[in-house]
């Protein structure tokens, strides 16, 4: 199979028939074999009934329905697990992503050899505040991850099959799949300017809080990329620094007291009466705790489960 199109959705009953028909039209026009994997993230409208009807009319449609709303990352992770195409395309269900982009994304993976191609909505139909915050967020993400993409949040992306079978999209890390791919050793990451269309049905499911969550996820994925399999390299180093800093300050205070006792007639203050002693004590304790955190992190990373499980209510194959 040439293409798997994974579409996470939540309460998008109005747009699904139009999206399915559009994808089918584009795939047939370019002679591409395909499947559409709709992942219903616990919708409370008629989205699943629409998917069931689409399945009757089009055998290329597959569907997965969660019992509750887990979020976009779990939906993508579950969709990836059943996708069978050589190239996996992700797009949103709200018709703001154009299926007309799929053939070019497919060619960039198959013919040009990219592992990941991320869409860039260069011209956006969003409110001014959202555009500004998005620019700042993407600028920060580029600086931190060292991956030069203009639009980490774009839902329209293409992946070589080996990529999505080699990574796990957990938490809210769907924004940083290119980072996870690079961490797994897939380094040829490209970008394509894509059309951003105005929303036709319903309302957006994301608010400004997603930018706060995005920055928190950025810190998380950066740490996991560098130290996820070796947490002792982070906590151990800082723990050792803190411990020896406290140790050196304590040694200085004791040596100072001994010096005053032997070489001067000035009665020194007790070590425990000096503020530096308590700062040193805190530093030593913090160092020990950081070291223990790194040790526990090593144990967890070596023995913990690598997979998340989500409760699926229904599935169409």
Per the prediction, the chain carries an average pLDDT of 85
* Strand-pair partners of 39: 8, 64
Q: What is the mean pLDDT of residues 248-270?
A: 82
Closest CA to 235 of 295, 284, 289, 294: 294
Sequence spans of domains, the chain: 3-227, 232-303
Query: How far is residue 155's CA from residue 112's CA, in Å, rounded to a whole number?
Result: 21
Hey, what long-range contacts does 294-299 have (CB within 8 A, 24 or more apart)?
A: 294/231, 294/232, 294/233, 294/234, 294/235, 294/236, 294/239, 295/232, 295/236, 297/231, 297/232, 297/235, 298/230, 298/231, 298/232
Q: How confident is the model at residue 202 (pLDDT cuts 50, 70, 90)?
A: low
Dihedral sign, Cα of residue 182, residue 126, residue 39, residue 216? positive
Radius of gyration of the chain (CA): 26
Per-residue pLDDT tens over the stretch 146-158: 888 998 888 899 9
Q: How confident is the model at residue 229 (pLDDT cuts 50, 70, 90)?
A: low
Q: What is the mean pLDDT of residues 254-265?
A: 81
**pLDDT at residue 200, rounded to an integer:** 72
Q: How confident is the model at residue 23 (pLDDT cuts 50, 70, 90)?
A: very high
Lowest-pLDDT choice from 29-38, 71-80, 236-245: 236-245
Pair 205, 10: CB distance under 8 Å: yes
Per-residue pLDDT tens over the stretch 74-128: 999 999 999 999 999 999 999 989 999 999 999 999 999 999 999 998 887 666 7
Q: What is the mean pLDDT of residues 14-21?
A: 95
**pLDDT at residue 290, rounded to an integer:** 85
**pLDDT at residue 310, rounded to an integer:** 64
Pair 20, 62: CB distance under 8 Å: no
CATH 3.30.930.10 correct for 3-227: no
Task: Compare 240 and 104 and report the one with higher pLDDT.
Answer: 104
Q: How confident is the model at residue 234 (pLDDT cuts 50, 70, 90)?
A: confident
Most confident of 14-23, 121-130, 298-307: 14-23
Q: Is the pLDDT of residue 161 over 90?
A: yes
Task: Compare 293 and 283 and report the one with higher pLDDT.
Answer: 283
Q: How confident is the model at residue 301 (pLDDT cuts 50, 70, 90)?
A: low
Task: Compare 156 and 302 and report the one with higher pLDDT.
Answer: 156
């Amino acid at each position: 199979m040439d293409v798997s199109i994974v579409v996470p959705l939540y309460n998008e009953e109005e747009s699904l028939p139009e999206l399915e028909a559009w994808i089918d039209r584009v795939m047939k026009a370019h002679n591409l074999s395909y499947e559409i994997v709709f992942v219903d993230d616990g919708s409370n409208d008629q989205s699943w009934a629409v998917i069931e009807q689409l399945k009757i009319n089009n055998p290329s449609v597959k569907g997965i329905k969660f019992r509750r709303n887990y979020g976009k990352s779990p939906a993508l992770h579950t969709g990836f697990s059943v996708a069978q195409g050589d190239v996996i395309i992700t797009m949103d269900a709200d018709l703001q992503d154009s299926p007309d982009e799929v053939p070019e994304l497919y060619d960039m993976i198959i013919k040009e050899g990219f592992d990941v191609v991320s869409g860039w909505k260069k011209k956006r139909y969003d409110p001014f505040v959202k555009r500004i915050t998005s620019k700042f967020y993407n600028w920060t993400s580029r600086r931190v991850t060292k991956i030069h993409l203009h639009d980490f949040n774009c839902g329209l992306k293409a992946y070589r099959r080996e990529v999505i079978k080699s990574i796990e999209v957990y938490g809210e890390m769907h924004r940083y799949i290119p980072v996870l791919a690079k961490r797994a050793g897939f380094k040829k990451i490209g970008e394509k300017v894509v059309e951003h269309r105005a929303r036709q049905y319903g309302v957006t499911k994301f608010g400004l809080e997603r930018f706060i969550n995005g920055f928190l996820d950025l810190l998380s994925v950066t740490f996991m990329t560098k130290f996820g399999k070796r947490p002792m390299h982070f906590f151990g180093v800082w723990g050792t620094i803190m411990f020896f800093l406290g140790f050196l300050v304590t040694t200085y205070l004791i040596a100072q007291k001994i010096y005053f006792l032997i070489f001067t007639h000035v009665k020194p203050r007790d070590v425990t009466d000096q503020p530096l002693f308590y700062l040193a004590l805190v530093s030593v304790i913090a160092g020990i705790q950081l070291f223990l955190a790194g040790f526990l992190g090593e144990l967890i990373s070596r023995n913990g489960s690598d997979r998340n499980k989500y409760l699926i209510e229904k599935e169409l194959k």
